[in-house]
């Protein structure tokens, strides 16, 4: 039940997997012309929830474009209720098979319908999730929030239904010769029946229903609190010394003569990295590391308590034991071992770097022997990189104007994967800033659609993520084309140039990697389509694309000075390359630290104090300290979606670095290599087994050698 579990558990990857309104115009979205069996005429379903009066969408599910039919509060409610109703109709059709002998059951009447239930849930909940985090109108955002609890209710009902389980188990007894993802779906459905409480008594099942409902609502509330919270400080214009000229232009004094700085990413990170008045960085960071803490601290404790209760109710010692079981790692012991090995690899390089950071910090007035605050890490790293390697992060940002980066990035992926990105200016969108790209094969075939929502605004998701709108899946009359959206927070073009930091560019390539994974899929089953993979694999296809932002042959395709149009000078490029590994050990140490925090919150078999565990983990795993009185865990949105899975970023990175060994050898723009990656991995989604996909592409078993070299800066 991968699609159901992913959509109702929370992370739209964040995914909505791991980019953190004007009135729409006419729609020209291409749709499949297939008609699914078992869903036609399903406005009235076995479920009493029907679309609201006056809402007329009754398209076959395989033809539905959620953007075209649900761009309103009424539309979102109708989309959700109609398609969850269709899912319940399919569930009823499966249950109607009860009593048949195993030999009488078929794939089409059982597991094929299980997969189609996943499609209905995806259509219902994916776009609703996106709108809840990105629509400019609050009533529509609120309407979007209503679908996740309903989807959770459906999943709970399905997995606790004895008649449904009896049919699936009877079909399994037939021992039909299934292969590939069909076999995987049967095996994992049987496993998920156990994991979702079918074997509990009536009282246990009743409590599980309550737990699932409460957890879905609490996770959504936690994320909403973060999206809705924007804090700010006001400073004198002179206190912006050190910031890029374009940043200062974009932050003119207000009527009171002071400059307003918010905790939104485009304001926050440049302050941390460049502002010479470190009291400004300190004060803004204090707010940033406590966003929504007044609400989210109590919510986090409730979530952790309820997850632990649910795990024990289902026979697991901890939530980590429960949550990691379906992932590549399989067990908490394997995750702990991986994190310890990664920490051991970076220990000495991080220690050496920290000595350099401390020397610089003390030169700037830091007291000898005192720990360095976390908000100074990027500032010190930038200063030292400039001193050691003559690398100026502000200077290189002049070569990354957001529109030019977007155009160049798209041209790179067009060349690599043999596709075209064509902008549809007349398509519906939820805000005037949103761009709509149709993706087509060079041969002319239509592949899918990607929405780019790149700039910050009030009420919008604060991070960077790919959200699923419609999955790719094989329909009755052909392949149903996937639709996704990138939601990011990059500088917006205006009176001053919208210049991205190099890390922004890397993030953009990373998130577009998720979109490519989603849109290029040709997987038969929606349960394993696109980014519907194990959570500790899903980042690998996007992490690998970060490397394209460091190579000369790819940078030269888009990195041009925003005024002169010149390419990055050799000296600046070489400085960037030489300095690239600097700061990586300490940055990796931080990632391992956050993964350890997530793991410890979920691996313990008793209730805990989140502040106490946070302090314990940070002291053991990080070289920098958080400000007293802040509560970073209240801002750590991945605790909701990844829930003991944040280690997956490093786990996936180990796979990504291994995959890159082939591109490094054969060429970053080698179309044969890219075509193999597209065919062997991206088109497969999760495939029968994620590790086997990588193994096939590499022609050998994956290993940690390249990952180890990368962490060590080699």
Does the structure show a pLDDT above 70 at 303? yes
**pLDDT tens digits, one per residue of 433-467:** 999 999 999 987 999 999 999 999 988 988 899 99
In this model, does residue 14 exceed pLDDT 60?
no
User: Average pLDDT for residues 382-389, to the nearest whole number?
Assistant: 92
SS3 at position 452: strand
Mean pLDDT for 106-131 is 96
Task: Give the up-direction half-sphere exposure of residue 535: CA atoms within 13 A in the CB hemisphere.
Answer: 31
CB 423 within 8 A of CB 100: no
Hey, CA dihedral for 489, 494, 495, 499, is it positive or negative?
A: positive
Residues 420, 693, 532: CA angle, nearest 5 degrees: 70
Give the Cβ contact number of residue 42 at 10 Å.
22
Which part of the chain has CATH 1.20.1050.40?
Answer: 2-226
- The pair of structure tokens assigned to 291 is 């966003």
Question: Looking at residue 55, what is its pLDDT?
Answer: 61
d(CA 351, CA 586) in angstroms, rounded, equals 8
The reply to whether CATH 3.40.50.2000 applies to domain 402-549 is no
- Name the nearest CA neighbour of 68 among 353, 426, 427, 321: 427
Do the beta carbons of residue 332 and residue 603 sit within 8 Å?
Answer: yes
- 45 has pLDDT over 70: no
Percent above pLDDT 70 for the chain: 92
The dihedral over CA atoms of 659, 663, 668, 669, expressed in degrees to the nearest 10, equals -100
Structure tokens at 280: 């400004």
Task: Give the CA angle between residues 488, 417, 443 to the nearest 5°.
Answer: 120
Residue 52 pLDDT more than 70?
A: no
633, 639 contact by CB (below 8 A): yes
- For 141-171, b where at least 16 C-beta lie within 10 A, e where not — what string? bebbbbbbbbbbbbbbebbbbeebbbbbebb
Task: Give the CA count within 13 Å in the CB-facing half-sphere of 369.
Answer: 0
Q: Tell me the backbone φ, ψ of residue 690, rounded to 5 degrees.
A: -65, -40
Average pLDDT over residues 580-588: 93
What's the confidence (pLDDT) of residue 1? 34
Q: What's the token pair of residue 275?
A: 């502002």
A 10 A CB-CB count for 680 gives 17
Res. 31: pLDDT tops 50: no
Task: Name the helix (H) or strand (E) containing 483.
Answer: strand 483-487
The reported pLDDT for the residue numbered 463 is 85
Which tokens belong to 569?
Answer: 């000078």
Q: Is the pLDDT of residue 17 over 70?
A: no
CATH number of the 2-226 domain: 1.20.1050.40
Phi and psi (nearest 5°) for 449? -140, 145
* Tens digits of residue pLDDT in 214-227: 999 999 999 999 98
State the SS3 of 115-132.
Answer: HHHHHHHHHHHHHHHHHH
Mean pLDDT of the region 642-655: 94
Residue 471 has pLDDT above 50, yes or no: yes
**Contact 593/404 with Cβ under 8 angstroms?**
no
Kindly report, as residue ranges, where domains of CATH 3.40.390.10 are found in the chain: 402-549
Distance linking the first and last C-alpha atoms of the chain: 41
H or E stretch at 577 = helix 570-579
pLDDT in tens, 484-539: 999 999 999 988 889 999 999 999 999 999 999 999 999 999 999 999 999 999 99
C-alpha distances out from residue 140 to 33, 73, 76, 130, Å: 29, 5, 8, 11
**For residues 152-163, average pLDDT:** 93
User: Over 90: is that where the pLDDT of 183 sits?
Assistant: yes
- What distance in Å separates the CA atoms of residue 277 and residue 272, rounded to the nearest whole number? 10
CB atoms within 10 A of CB 528: 28
What pLDDT was estimated at residue 281? Answer: 98
Q: Closest by alpha carbon to 431, among 19, 25, 6, 157? A: 25
Is pLDDT above 60 for 53?
no
Q: What is the pLDDT of residue 20?
A: 33
Residue 109 has pLDDT above 90, yes or no: yes
| pLDDT of 2 | 35
The strand ranges marked E within 567-634 are 624-625
Q: What one-character DSSP code corresponds to residue 567?
A: B
Q: How far is CA 163 from CA 100, 185, 373, in A?
A: 12, 19, 57
3-24 as b/e, with b when 16 or more CB fall inside 10 Å? bbbbbbbbbbbbbbbbbebeeb
Mean pLDDT computed over every residue of the chain? 90
Question: Cα separation of 68 and 29, whole Å?
Answer: 8
Is the pLDDT score of 232 beyond 80? Answer: yes
Count of all residues that appear for the chain in the document:
714
* pLDDT band with cut points at 50, 70 and 90 for residue 11: very low
* Cα 279 from Cα 285, distance rounded (Å): 10
Does 197 score more than 80 pLDDT? yes
User: Taking 60 as the threshold, does the pLDDT of residue 296 lie above it?
Assistant: yes
């Amino acid at each position: 039940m991968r699609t159901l579990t992913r959509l109702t558990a929370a992370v739209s990857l964040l995914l909505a997997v791991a980019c953190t309104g004007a009135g729409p115009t006419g729609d020209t979205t291409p749709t499949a012309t297939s008609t699914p069996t078992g869903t036609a005429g399903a406005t009235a379903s076995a479920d009493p929830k029907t679309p609201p009066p006056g809402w007329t969408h009754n398209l076959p599910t395989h033809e539905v474009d959620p953007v075209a039919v649900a761009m309103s509060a009424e539309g979102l409610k109708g989309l959700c209720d109609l398609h969850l109703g269709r899912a319940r109709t399919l569930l009823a059709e499966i249950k109607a098979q009860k009593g048949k002998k195993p030999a009488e059951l078929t794939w089409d009447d059982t597991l094929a319908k299980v997969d189609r239930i996943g499609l209905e849930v995806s259509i219902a909940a994916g776009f609703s999730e996106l709108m809840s985090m990105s629509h400019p109108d609050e009533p529509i955002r609120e309407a979007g929030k209503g679908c996740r609890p309903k989807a959770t209710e459906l999943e709970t009902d399905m997995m606790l239904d004895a008649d449904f389980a009896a049919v699936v188990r009877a079909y399994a007894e037939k021992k039909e010769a299934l292969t590939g993802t069909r076999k995987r779906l049967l095996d994992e459905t049987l496993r998920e029946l156990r994991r979702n409480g079918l074997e509990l008594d009536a009282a246990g099942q009743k409590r599980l229903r309550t737990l699932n409902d409460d957890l879905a609502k609490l996770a959504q509330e936690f994320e909403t609190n973060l999206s809705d919270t924007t804090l700010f400080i006001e400073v004198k214009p002179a206190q912006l010394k050190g910031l890029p000229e374009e940043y200062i232009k974009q932050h003119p004094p207000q009527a009171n003569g002071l400059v307003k700085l918010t905790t939104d990413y485009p304001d926050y990170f440049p302050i941390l990295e460049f502002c010479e008045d470190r009291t400004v960085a300190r004060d803004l960071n204090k707010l940033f590391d406590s966003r929504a803490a007044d609400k989210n601290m109590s919510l986090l404790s409730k979530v952790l308590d309820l997850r632990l209760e649910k795990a024990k109710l289902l026979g697991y010692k901890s939530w980590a034991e429960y949550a990691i079981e379906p992932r590549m790692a399989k067990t908490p012991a394997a995750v702990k071992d991986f994190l310890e090995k990664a920490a051991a690899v970076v220990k000495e390089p991080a220690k050496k770097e920290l000595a350099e950071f401390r020397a610089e910090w003390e030169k700037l007035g830091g007291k000898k022997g005192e720990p360095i605050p976390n908000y100074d890490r990027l500032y010190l790293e930038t200063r030292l990189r400039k001193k050691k390697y003559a690398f100026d992060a502000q200077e290189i940002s002049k070569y990354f104007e957001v529109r030019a980066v977007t155009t160049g990035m798209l041209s790179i992926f067009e060349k690599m994967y043999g596709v075209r990105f064509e902008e549809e200016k007349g398509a519906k969108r939820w805000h005037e800033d949103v761009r709509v790209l149709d993706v087509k094969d060079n041969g002319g075939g239509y592949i899918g659609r990607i929405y780019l929502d790149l700039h910050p605004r009030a009420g919008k998701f604060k991070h960077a993520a790919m959200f699923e709108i419609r999955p790719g899946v094989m329909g009755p009359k052909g392949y149903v084309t996937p639709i996704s959206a990138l939601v990011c927070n990059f500088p917006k073009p205006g009176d001053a140039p919208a210049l991205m930091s190099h890390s922004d560019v890397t993030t953009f390539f990373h998130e577009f990697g998720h979109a490519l994974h989603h849109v290029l899929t040709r997987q038969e089953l929606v349960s394993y389509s696109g980014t519907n993979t194990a959570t500790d694999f899903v980042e690998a296809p996007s992490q690998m694309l970060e490397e394209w932002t460091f190579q000369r042959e790819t940078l030269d395709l888009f990195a041009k000075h925003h005024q002169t149009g010149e390419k990055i000078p050799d000296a600046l490029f070489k400085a960037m390359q030489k300095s690239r590994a600097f700061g990586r050990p300490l940055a990796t140490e931080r990632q391992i630290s956050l993964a350890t925090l997530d793991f410890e919150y979920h691996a313990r078999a008793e209730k805990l104090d989140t502040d106490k565990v946070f302090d314990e983990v940070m002291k053991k795993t990080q070289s920098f300290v958080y400000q007293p009185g802040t509560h970073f865990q209240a801002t750590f949105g991945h605790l909701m979606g990844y829930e003991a899975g944040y280690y997956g970023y490093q786990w996936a990175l180990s796979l990504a670095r291994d995959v890159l060994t082939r591109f490094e050898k054969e060429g970053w723009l080698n179309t044969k290599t890219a075509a193999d990656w597209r065919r062997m991995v991206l088109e497969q989604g999760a495939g029968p087994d994620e590790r086997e996909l990588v193994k096939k592409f590499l022609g050998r078993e994956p290993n940690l050698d390249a990952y180890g070299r990368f962490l060590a800066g080699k």
